[in-house]
A = this chain, B = another copy of it.
Amino acid sequence: MYALNTAAGPAARLRPAVVPIMLQDTTLEGLFESQAAESFAAGTTVFWEGDPADDIFQLTQGILRLYRILPDGQRAIIGFIFAGEILGLSFKSDYLLTAEAITPVTMRRLSRTRFHALVSESDALRPQLLARLCDEMCAVQDQMLVFLHRTADARVASFLLSVARKTTGAATKGTEVELAMSRTDIADYLGLTIETVCRSIGKLKSEGLIVLNGPHKIVLQKTRSLRELAGEAKADEAFTATARAA
């Protein structure tokens, strides 16, 4: 994968601008802190599939979409990058996908050679990079399990929970999720059509699992049902115990 979640998650964005110097040596994010911020307008492309993969980025604000165009012309969205995440980590000479700003974004850039030099010099950073890659691999696998083996409704539920966690840090009753991406983006990510995404969201709404404040603001209501639908948990222990007692 080309994106690595920060261990800290959304907390990273709330972190004060001035951080202990030590961080620069002990976290991958620290490597970017001395770099200048660059801005990209919404809709702008940060890099194209096929461009030489010269740089590695940290997204400091905004949301990106990563996609590839399939041989038949269909656009497949590989994932979304949220503030705090690192992007472009690859050992290929070219980028294998296109990164596009969904919202206005700001990023910090580090040349790939510099990044790898810094990482391989540091005994603290090397294992971190490996651990991150493994974490990311696990995440991709989990995602694939949900998306591949479950229905449209389950995929949408899983997606909403995932966005909630990445943007607000939690997915509890009352959490308002800002969906910056369009329905088309969601569909191209989940391997569904726009219409099916709409209908699934509509169904979640009519069943009271979520509430909509316009098409791009979703409030989570029945988070247990959402999690079950998304295939994240078995039926609750207490519930099955009750069922057994009855």
Contacts and interface: CB of A to CB of B under 8 A. Distances in A.
B145 A148 contact: no
Contacts of A68: 145
A98 B24 CA distance: 38
Interface in A178-229: 190-191, 228
B148 A191 contact: yes
Given A71-B233, A232-B71, A234-B71, A76 B133 contact: no
Contact of A145 (B70, B137, B143, B234): B70
Contacts of A120: 126-127
B137 A136 contact: yes
Interface string A98-138: 00000000000000000000001000001101110111111
A147 interface: yes
From A71, A145, A148, A234, residue with most partner B Cβ within 10 Å: A148
A228 B70 CA distance: 11
A3 to B, nearest CB: 11
A171 interface: no
Given A76-B145, A76-B148, A76-B149, A138 B92 contact: yes
Given A1-B141, A134-B133, A191 B91 contact: no
Nearest to A140: B140
A76 B141 CA distance: 11
Contacts of A190: 148
Interface of A: 1, 68, 70-72, 74, 76, 78, 89-92, 96, 120, 126-127, 129-131, 133-138, 140-141, 143-145, 147-149, 190-191, 228, 231-234
Given A71-B228, A71-B233, A91-B131, 20 more contacts: A1-B141, A70-B149, A71-B232, A71-B234, A76-B149, A78-B141, A78-B145, A91-B135, A92-B138, A120-B126, A120-B127, A129-B130, A130-B133, A137-B140, A140-B141, A143-B144, A144-B147, A147-B148, A148-B190, A148-B191
